[in-house]
Every structure is written in structure tokens, then in C-alpha cells.
Chain A
Amino acid sequence: MASIKQITVWARGVIQDKEGRDISNGIAAAADFEGKFTQAFDNYVDLPDRVNVPLRKYARISDEEIEERYEYENEHPEIVILADATIVKGMNVLRGMPKGGTLVVNTDRSPDDILKFIPNKELLKQIVCVDANGICGDRTVDFSGSEGGIDSVGIGAGVAAPILGALVKGTKLVKLESLAKVVKNNEAMYKGFDQAKVKTL
């Protein structure tokens, strides 16, 4: 199944748990509106209930039906999203990425500043930087919607919205209109789309 696009989101435990989940759920729900087959799920290997621990959230988008249902990990992510930029120093975030991938980072620094910390940057085709904390400012510290519960806050109320906008600008994975149907804070999403800095390597 080579047509599956794997997306891995790295976020910080507890303080960004909802944001990371919103990014993976939001992109999957938007692709679902366009008639694609999608999956989005959390990772429990990382023990996410500890403050600041790096954790992963996953999404898969495919044109055909996704058959690998019981693999709860993206081994070869084409797109990696960092909800917090300092994770580049703590993790090999590009592990398993095939050549020509995309990295989306929430940071106020320039793409070159982030590339300094990535030793295996030859895997990347492009890097997208967006100052999501500067656009929205607020973080949704909330656990609603986790583990299959009802999401009472809604997708993309916090910094997930500008990151999703930047992701669309860099990858053209989904249309911005279908993302706007899913994301709650539309204004921040369009701002993230406009202000994202894309650097092709």
C-alpha cells in the first residue's frame, strides 16, 4: 500500500495533548470531506500523561481503503509536524522518513535555525515554519475527545489551527475550504496559511 500518506505529529505531553490530537484529527477529517480514506489515532507507547514528555499522534490518508488497521504506529511518515520546536533537540523526529519528506514546525525562528538542529536533513524536501503561538497565543489544556470520548471543545480551537493552515500551504494535502469546515478557529487557520514560511531544500 504505497499510496498511504503517513503523518506523524510530535507534541508535548499534557500541555499540548489536545493540540496534537487536533492536528491529526483535523487533517484526517478534512481529507474525509474530500472522499479519501483516513485514520487518526493517538500513541499510547509514549505514556502521554506526563507533562512535557514528547509524544506522537498519527494520521493516515489514502485514496484506497486502508488495510493495515492494527498497526498503531507510522513507521515511514512522509510528513512530520512538530507542535513544539524544542523537540528537534530531543528526538530523531525524521526516523523512518522516506526521502523527500516535509517537516512542519511551530516556531518563531526561521527555517534555517531549525535545520541547524537536524542532522539527517537530506531526507527533507521542504520545511515549513509557522509562529502558531504568536498567532493564537492560547493553548487548550483539555482532555476531551481523548480515548474515543466526546470532543466538547471542538477541533482546532487553539494553536492547532495555524499549524493546520501551514501544513496545507506546504503540502497541498487537502483543500483549505474543506479544512475550514472542520477547524473551529478559521481566522487563525487562514493567518497560519498566510504567514507560514516555506523553504524548499
Chain B
Amino acid sequence: MPYFKIPKEKEVPLGCITPAPVGEQPMMITGNWRIYRPVIEQEKCTLCMSCVIFCPDACWQLNAEEDEVVWNAKYCKGCSICVRECTSGALSTAYELDFEDGVVRLEKPF
């Protein structure tokens, strides 16, 4: 219980606090940082999970039903760490404007 009561009209929201994300954090979308994107060839992929481990933003996730790794365009910054770490050569980079999808059109950077 607070020591004294703040009137309702004088309350201010707490700063620097965001709701705990469940699965994804929609308040920090980084997909618009990307210039080059990783493209996967599913036939070559051996499911070694290197991309899943090395991705700093957890943009590669295993889809257990389909037995393949899935890419998340909303948060991928295009750092190409996954392409460098891929053991089977299934990943390659491609220029972002070659694709119609992956549009993350924000109003403001913040």
C-alpha cells in the first residue's frame, strides 16, 4: 500500500517499463533494419540448428511438425550471422527489394 494516496488525475504512467512479452516483443520491432535477408533452401538443410542457436534475435525457430526451421521477418535485422554459421550451405543472402513480403512499415523508428 502506498504511504499517501495519489489522486487519480495526477497519476503518471511508469517510464521505461514495457509489458512482459509472450513469444514476441511487439514494442521493439527490428525488421526494418534489414538490407539483406537470409534465404533458406529447405532441401539442403540438415536441421543442425546452428541458425537457431546463433541468431541473436531468435528469428530462426524449429517447426517440429514440418521438420524445418522457420524465419521471422518481423524481427530479423539482416546481420547474416546465420548465413556465416550455416554448416550445410543452405542459407544465402538476397537483397531485400527483390521480395514483396517482409514489409514492416512503422510510423516512427521509436
User: B-contacting residues of A (Cβ < 8 Å)?
Assistant: 12, 45-47, 51-56, 84-87, 89-92, 95, 107, 109, 113, 116-117, 119
Mark out the residues of chain B between 51 and 66 whose CB falls within 8 Å of any chain A CB in the assembled complex.
none
Q: Does B32 contact A (CB under 8 A)?
A: yes
User: Which A residues lie within 8 Å of B77 (CB)?
Assistant: 52
Tell me the bound Cα distance from A86 to B104 in angstroms.
Answer: 11
Q: Which 7 A/B pairs are nearest by Cβ-Cβ distance? A: A90-B32, A52-B33, A46-B109, A86-B96, A89-B103, A86-B35, A92-B107
User: A-contacting residues of B (Cβ < 8 Å)?
Assistant: 31-35, 77-78, 95-97, 100, 102-110
Inter-subunit contact B105/A84 (CB<8 Å): no
Instruction: With A52-B34, A107-B97, A109-B97 as known contacts, state yes or no: A90 contacts B110, CB within 8 Å.
Output: no
Inter-subunit contact A90/B107 (CB<8 Å): no
13 A-B pairs in the complex with CB atoms less than 8 angstroms apart: A51-B33, A52-B35, A52-B77, A52-B78, A53-B33, A53-B109, A89-B97, A90-B32, A90-B103, A90-B105, A95-B108, A107-B97, A117-B97
Instruction: With A107-B97, A109-B97 as known contacts, state yes or no: A86 contacts B110, CB within 8 Å.
Output: no
Main secondary structure of the interface of A (DSSP, over half): loop
Instruction: With A12-B35, A86-B35 as known contacts, state yes or no: A91 contacts B109, CB within 8 Å.
Output: yes
Instruction: With A46-B109, A47-B110, A54-B109 as known contacts, state yes or no: A90 contacts B31, CB within 8 Å.
Output: yes
Inter-subunit contact B33/A54 (CB<8 Å): yes
User: Which B residues lie within 8 Å of A92 (CB)?
Assistant: 105-107
State how many angstroms separate the Cβ of B46 from the closest Cβ of chain A.
30
Q: Which of B34, B105, B108 contacts A86 (CB 8 A)?
A: B34
Inter-subunit contact B35/A45 (CB<8 Å): no
